[in-house]
Chain A
Amino acid sequence: MDIQALMLITAETKQTQELVTLVPWTFIIQICNLFIQVFLIKKFLFKPINDILEKRKNLADKSIREAREAQSEADSLKEQYEDSLTNAHAEAAKIVSEAQKEAQTKADTLVREAQEEAASIKARAVADIEQEKKKAINEAKDEIGSLAMDIAGKVVEKEISESDHKKLIDDFLNKVGA
Chain B
Amino acid sequence: MNSGFEVDYAQIYKTFHTGIPILGDFQLTETLIVSWIVMIIITGLCIFLTRDLKIENISKRQAFAEMLVETGNNFVRNNTGSNKFDKLIPFVSALFATSVVSNLISLIGLRSPTADLSTEAAWAIVVFIMITSTKIKTNGFGGYLKGFTTPIAVMTPFNILSELATPVSMACRHFGNILSGVVIDGLIYWALGLASAALFGLIPGAVGDFLSKIPILGVGIPAVTGVYFDWFSGCMQAFIFCMLTVMYIANAAEEG
Chain A residues within 8 Å of B, Cβ to Cβ: 1, 3, 6, 10, 14-31, 33-38, 40-42, 44-46, 48-53, 55-56, 59
How many angstroms between the C-alpha atoms of A18 and B117 in the bound complex? 10
What 16 additional pairs, Cβ within 8 angstroms, besides A16-B10, A30-B123?
A3-B5, A6-B5, A6-B6, A15-B13, A16-B12, A19-B179, A25-B18, A26-B31, A26-B122, A28-B122, A37-B42, A40-B39, A44-B47, A46-B72, A49-B53, A49-B68
CB distance from B99 to the nearest CB of A (A): 10
Contact indicator A10/B90 (Cβ below 8 Å) = no
Which secondary structure characterizes the binding site on chain B?
A: helix
In the assembled complex, B255 has its CB within 8 A of some CB on chain A: no
A18 cross-chain contacts in B, Cβ below 8 A: 9
Chain B residues within 8 Å of A, Cβ to Cβ: 3-7, 9-13, 15, 18, 22-27, 29, 31-32, 35-36, 39, 42-43, 46-47, 49-50, 53-56, 62, 65-66, 68-69, 72, 89-91, 93-95, 97-98, 113, 116-119, 121-123, 125-126, 175, 179
Candidates A3, A15, A52; contact of B53 at CB < 8 Å: A52
A6 cross-chain contacts in B, Cβ below 8 A: 4-6
How many angstroms between the C-alpha atoms of A51 and B3 in the bound complex? 57
A51 cross-chain contacts in B, Cβ below 8 A: 53
Contact indicator B119/A40 (Cβ below 8 Å) = no
How many angstroms between the C-alpha atoms of A53 and B53 in the bound complex? 10
